[in-house]
């Protein structure tokens, strides 16, 4: 068994893991990254479309290009790297953690460290999660799997395709399939509004005349060995109206019905999770309720922009550095109020800069985002348009906070009106 000791171990070498590790390293601490794939970059490597890096680099890059900028820095930073290596277990206590992994090159690997950064990304929700009736033939893929098969392995998953769900991956894949000559018959979305980014609706569907059926469900998948069609049913006042069902014959169904932060390891390690996001509950330092275990990127909450995932991870890495150096700051709880589905983190530190990532429950024009402490509003911001699929990011400086009295809970509530 290979045994090593580091100040910090980062699990996952996607955008978040790399950005976090770089920040830890820049703070002068030793750090290792473990990833189960043979390469860095995570999900970015199969996202060969553009739209990455606009905030981070002020450029419009593809996923692999974005990743490459981090990879070259990681390789030169004196960070230990374990690729093709899957983390199986996190154990330990406040003082020290043990990350156990295994990989072809090492057998079992035991990494002892003072801080762990969770950066495992997320996985896709699948057919079972949305309980679609019908048969179980070949040809039903999650959109990300289809994307991987196409963009990394070079295979065509099918020729006549129906996409279920209007998440970003599904939209990107609708365009991608069309570009290689497959026919995308429909994108079917249960909600009355699309769940992907507005720019993707326009660039991936409208530009290619791919029909988007809002307030519709795929009520059944048919086909014995391979998919031969789907039944599509409109929702009338929220309920499927089967008298208006119609059939589309296709050989492939792609599911783009959401992502789930990949927290099996965290759960096993006893890290408390946040039901609103599926990620760990974290404090203002992006540290979970298990001391020394931090989280960032998609494992913490699903990001739509890699730029924000990377930014969050950098801040996480800096916080790990402060933790390792024993620097602390006072913090108070933060919670989601009216019309807010989730807010990350779950604490704020009034003496530092805080970045809040907020998802709304509602679709609205001219909304107001309001922050209140103990009933009085400390800050508000006008938002031209909000919808659940577009994350709201808010930066708070120490100057934004009133003098807070110790001994109070000083709960801050984020609400939308």
Instruction: Tell the smallest beta-carbon distance from residue 19 to ligand FAD (Å).
Output: 8
CB 47 within 8 A of CB 147: yes
What is the torsional sign of CA 9, 12, 17, 22? positive
Q: Kindly state the smallest distance separating residue 359's Cβ from ligand FAD, in Å.
A: 14
Q: By rule CB under 6 A, what string of x and - marks binding of each residue 334-373 to ligand FAD? A: ----------------------------------------
Cα angle: 295, vertex 344, 315; to 5 degrees: 50
Task: Measure the CA–CA gap between 75 and 67, rounded to whole angstroms.
Answer: 12
Size of the site for other proteins (CB under 8 A): 60
Are 341 and 360 in contact by the 8 Å Cβ rule? The answer is yes
Contact predicate 109/102, CB 8 Å? yes
Among candidate residues 393, 365, 392, 390, the one with its CA nearest the CA of residue 197? 390
Name which of residues 98 to 127 contact other proteins (CB under 8 A): 100, 102-108, 110, 123-124, 126-127
Tokens 């609706």: give the residue. 201
Judged by CB under 6 A, does residue 309 bind ligand FAD?
Answer: yes
Which tokens is 42 given? 């995570």
Q: Does 17 bind ligand FAD (CB under 6 A)?
A: yes
Q: CB under 5 to 8 A by kind: which of ligand FAD, other proteins, none does 110 bind?
A: other proteins
Binding-residue pattern over the window 164 to 203 for ligand FAD, x denoting contact by CB under 6 A: ----xx--x-------------------------------
SS3 338: coil
Chosen residue from 27, 51, 321, 350 binding ligand FAD by CB under 6 A: 51
Helix (H, G, I), strand (E, B) or coil at 106: coil
Residue 217, C-beta contacts closer than 8 angstroms, at least 6 positions apart: 188, 190, 232, 233, 235, 240
User: Interface with other proteins includes 377 (CB under 8 A)?
Assistant: no
Note whether 119 binds ligand FAD by CB under 6 A. yes
Contact call for residue 31 and ligand FAD (CB under 6 A):
no
Residue 393 found at the interface with other proteins (CB under 8 A): no
Quick note: the x/- pattern for other proteins over 201-230, rule CB under 8 A, is: ------------------xx-x-xxx-x--
State the pairing for strand pair 259-261/122-124: antiparallel
Q: Which of 8, 9, 10, 11 binds ligand FAD (CB under 6 A)?
A: 11
Contact map string, positions 245 to 274, toward other proteins, x by CB under 8 A: ----xxx------------x--x-------
Q: What minimum distance in Å lies between the beta carbon of 404 and other proteins?
A: 38
Give the CA-trace dihedral at 342, 346, 351, 353, to 10 degrees.
-40
Indicate which single residue of 182, 187, 358, 367 sits in contact with other proteins (rule: CB under 8 A).
182
Q: DSSP letter at 410?
A: -
Residue 390 interacting with ligand FAD (CB under 6 A)? no
Query: CA–CA distance from 153 to each of 64, 149, 156, 220, 253 (Å)?
Result: 15, 5, 9, 29, 19
Closest C-alpha to 164, from 121, 195, 136:
195
Instruction: Look at residue 11 and give the partner it binds from other proteins, ligand FAD, none, a contact being a CB closer than 5 to 8 Å depending on partner kind.
Output: ligand FAD
CB 284 within 8 A of CB 345: yes
390: how many CB neighbours lie within 10 A of its CB? 18
Enumerate binding residues for other proteins (CB under 8 A). 1, 36, 84, 86, 88-89, 100, 102-108, 110, 123-124, 126-129, 131, 133-139, 142, 144-145, 148-150, 152-160, 180-183, 219-220, 222, 224-226, 228, 249-251, 264, 267
Residues of this chain that interact with ligand FAD (CB under 6 A) are: 11-17, 34-37, 42-44, 47, 51-52, 86-87, 119-121, 144, 147, 168-169, 172, 262, 265, 297-298, 303, 305-307, 309
């Amino acid at each position: 068994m290979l045994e090593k000791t580091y100040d910090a171990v980062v699990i996952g070498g996607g955008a978040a893991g790399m950005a976090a590790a770089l920040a830890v390293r820049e703070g002068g601490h030793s750090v290792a990254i473990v990833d189960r794939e043979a390469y860095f970059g995570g999900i970015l490597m199969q996202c060969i479309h553009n739209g990455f890096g606009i905030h981070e680099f002020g450029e419009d890059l593809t996923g692999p290009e974005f990743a490459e900028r981090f990879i070259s820095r990681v390789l030169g930073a004196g960070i230990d790297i374990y690729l093709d290596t899957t983390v199986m277990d996190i154990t330990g206590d406040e003082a020290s953690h043990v990350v156990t992994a295994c990989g072809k090159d090492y057998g079992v690997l035991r990494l002892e460290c003072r801080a762990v950064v969770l950066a495992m990304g997320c996985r896709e929700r699948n057919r079972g999660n949305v309980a679609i009736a019908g048969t179980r033939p070949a040809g039903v893929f999650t959109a990300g799997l289809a994307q991987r098969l196409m963009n990394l392995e070079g295979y065509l998953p099918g020729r006549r395709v129906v996409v279920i769900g209007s998440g970003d991956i599904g939209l990107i894949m609708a365009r991608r399939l069309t570009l290689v000559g497959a026919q995308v018959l429909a994108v079917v979305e249960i909600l009355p509004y699309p769940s992907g980014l507005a720019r993707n609706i326009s660039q991936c569907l409208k530009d290619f005349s791919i029909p988007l059926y809002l307030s519709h469900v795929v009520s059944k998948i048919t086909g014995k060995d391979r998919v031969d069609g789907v039944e599509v049913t409109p929702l009338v006042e929220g309920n499927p109206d089967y008298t208006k069902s119609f059939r589309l014959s296709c050989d492939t169904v792609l599911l783009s019905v959401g992502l789930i932060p990949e927290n099996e390891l965290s759960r096993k390690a006893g890290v408390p999770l946040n039901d609103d996001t599926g990620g760990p509950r974290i404090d203002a330092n992006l540290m979970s309720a298990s001391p020394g275990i931090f989280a960032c990127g998609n494992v913490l909450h699903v990001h739509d922009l890699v730029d924000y995932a990377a930014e969050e991870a950098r801040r996480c890495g800096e916080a790990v550095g402060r933790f390792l150096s024993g620097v602390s700051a006072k913090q108070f709880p933060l919670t989601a109020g009216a019309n807010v589905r989730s807010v990350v983190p779950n604490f704020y530190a009034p003496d530092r800069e805080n970045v809040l990532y907020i998802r709304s429950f509602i679709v609205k024009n001219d909304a107001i985002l309001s922050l209140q402490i103990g009933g009085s509003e400390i800050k508000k911001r006008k938002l031209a348009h909000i919808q659940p699929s577009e994350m709201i990011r808010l930066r708070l400086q120490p100057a934004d906070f009133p003098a807070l009295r110790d001994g109070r809970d000083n709960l801050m509530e984020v609400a939308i009106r």
